[in-house]
Amino acid sequence: MTRPLSRRLFLSSALAALAAPALAEAPAVSLRPMLRPAGIRAAGSASATEALIAGAKLSGEVGFAVLDAATGRVLEARAAGTRLPPASVTKAVTALYALETLGAGHRFATRLIAAGPVRDGVLDGDLVLAGGGDPTLDTDALADMAAALKRTGLREVRGAFRVWGGALPYLHAIHAQQPVHVGYNPALSGLSLNYNRVHFEWKPSGGKYALTMDARSARYRPEVTVARMRIADRAVPAYTYTDAGTHDAWTVARGALGGGGARWLPVRKPALYAGEVFATFARAQGIVLKPPAEIDGTAPKGATLVTHESAALAEILRDMLRYSTNITAEMVGMAASAKRRGRPVAHAASAREMTDWAKATLGMAAPDLHDHSGLSDRSRLSAEDMARALAATGRREALRPLMREIEMRDAQGRPVRGHKVKVLAKTGTLYFVSTLAGYVTPPGGRELVFAVLSASDNMRSRIDPSRDERPEGARGWNLRAKRLQQALIEQWSASYGG
């Protein structure tokens, strides 16, 4: 059995660009908390809150709910029942879904299976690389599996080399309406590698460009042919993609290359990608395999020669919440649905399964989730549903240790060291959508649970998400939304922090 030896080198590149300047000063008005029935907003806080929201100039809707963690009582709310896109805050729901269904200690297994007898180091049959839905499988792990296969004494495979990704249904892309080349929107499969991204690099060389496509990791950089790049004499678009059957065919505009650089591109043939990389390492161990071929249907049968296990689910979810990796959320969500249904289910059906679970288990009134990552803006949640879902004692104990600490910032956007307000939360960002939900511990020690959802459907309707990587006004809008989030947290801390 092999285990990953290091944190994935490229994991940090999946970190969403969420850090933004925010206010760290105390609120202009010191508010005294008042006892009132659940769901009724503090009378003295309305004007101060509305002033903050008006000052943010978000040209959209802002909904929030803040609860007492100990009692679950609503302390303050605004448009708390309005359903808005949750963006990556969805991942907190997915984490709860996976923890309850699979368990914090669950590990995903990737196997090498001998579909035939092995005698004197010779496999008289096919060798199968079978995925188990591991969203964190990387190049280093495949290298370790090849070395482990060599240690079994295997030296020859007379049959075919096959790859199986049927533990999860295949999906060409998480969200169809995204730019074709963004690495955060790859294909989904039960056999995935390097978060289903390939590393494209270009360097000037003798008046031309040297191009490489590789599956790099902390230790290796094996080049691949399942994803191929060609330079096109044009200015725009920067990238085009074509399914060439045996491989992903990319072109890049010569005018976009400049003096050299690199980026991660999404992989649309993940099982073949993993198979090609494994075959490279097997060859280095003296085991020559035929080109990988995909197999469909149920899990292949045969003797398991090597098993690679992922880290425990709790660790995977901690990284998912920290780096907001979409593919991890989708794969663990679909794995949870597969366990609940007793079979793999399609992506859309899995999202509906999680929605039904959220209603029944989290007590959400009207969730409508179209994925597990929040990449789709068709998903809808209310701030009150989100806050109540996070407030239950058992869920707080499970989720809070996995959440990222959100830095409080000064007026120039600089982190404030030693800030007395501590926030553990999940952020969410789409164009003209900014969300935040989690836990606040003010200086007084009274823990609060909150959710803030902001969105402008009017601004979103003006963009083409498949083309506009940087819609005009989106960056400024999101910066203002994040400033508002911190201002609200500081106001709540002063009002209700004990």
Instruction: Enter the tokens of residue 111.
Output: 């196997």
- The full set of domain ranges for the chain reads 11-103+343-496, 194-267
Is the N-terminal amide bond of 237 cis, ω within 30° of 0?
A: yes
pLDDT, position 468: 58
Residue 378 makes CB contacts below 8 A (sequence gap 6+) with 85, 368, 370
Residues pairing with 198 in the sheet: 265
Q: Which residues of 335-344 are buried (b: 16+ CB within 10 A; e: fewer)?
A: bbbbebeeeb
51 CB-near residues (< 8 Å, 6+ apart) = none
Q: Are strands 122-123 and 118-119 parallel, antiparallel or unpaired?
A: antiparallel
pLDDT (0 to 100) of residue 431: 92
| Pair 384, 80: CB distance under 8 Å | yes
Residues, the chain, total?
498
383: its two tokens: 């701030």
Exposure of 252 in the CB half-sphere (CA atoms within 13 A)? 24
Q: Which of 295, 379, 305 is nearest to 92 (CA)?
A: 379
Task: Give me the residues paired with residue 266 across strands.
Answer: 197
Give the separation between CA 191 and CA 170, rounded to whole angstroms.
Answer: 9
272-276-279-280 Cα dihedral, nearest 10 degrees: -170
Find out whether 406 and 439 touch, Cβ atoms under 8 Å: no
- Local confidence pLDDT in tens for the 498 residues of the chain: 433 333 333 344 333 322 332 322 222 222 222 333 334 344 336 788 999 999 999 989 999 999 999 999 999 999 999 999 999 999 999 999 999 999 999 999 999 999 999 999 999 999 999 999 999 999 999 999 999 999 999 999 999 999 999 999 999 999 998 999 999 999 999 999 999 999 999 999 888 999 999 999 999 999 999 999 999 999 889 999 999 999 999 999 999 998 999 999 999 999 999 999 999 999 999 999 999 999 999 989 999 999 999 999 999 999 999 999 999 999 999 999 999 999 999 999 999 999 999 999 999 999 999 999 999 999 999 999 999 999 998 999 999 999 999 999 988 888 898 899 999 999 999 999 999 999 999 999 999 999 999 999 989 888 876 565 678 899 999 999 999 999 999 999 999 987
Cα–Cα distance for residue pair 18/33, rounded to 1 Å: 31
Q: What φ, ψ does residue 412 adopt, rounded to 5°?
A: -90, 5
| Sheet with 248-253, edge to edge strand ranges | 227-232, 248-253, 239-243
- End-to-end CA separation in angstroms for the chain: 51
Helix (H, G, I), strand (E, B) or coil at 324: coil
Which of 428, 377, 437, 375 minimizes the C-alpha distance to 64? 437
The answer to whether 146 and 127 are in contact (CB under 8 A) is no
Amino acid letter, 266: P
- Asked if 129 and 191 touch (Cβ cutoff 8 Å), the reply is yes
Parallel, antiparallel or unpaired: strands 156-157 and 197-205 = unpaired
Cα–Cα distance for residue pair 137/4, rounded to 1 Å:
8
- Three-state DSSP at 460 gives helix
Kindly indicate whether the domain formed by 11-103+343-496 is annotated with CATH number 3.10.20.30: no
The pLDDT, as a whole number, for residue 471 is 85
Looking at residue 40, what is its pLDDT?
38
Buried b (16+ CB within 10 A) or exposed e, 472-482: eebeebbbbbb
H or E element that contains 474: helix 474-496
Residue type, 102: L
Residue where the block lists tokens 């290796």 = 220
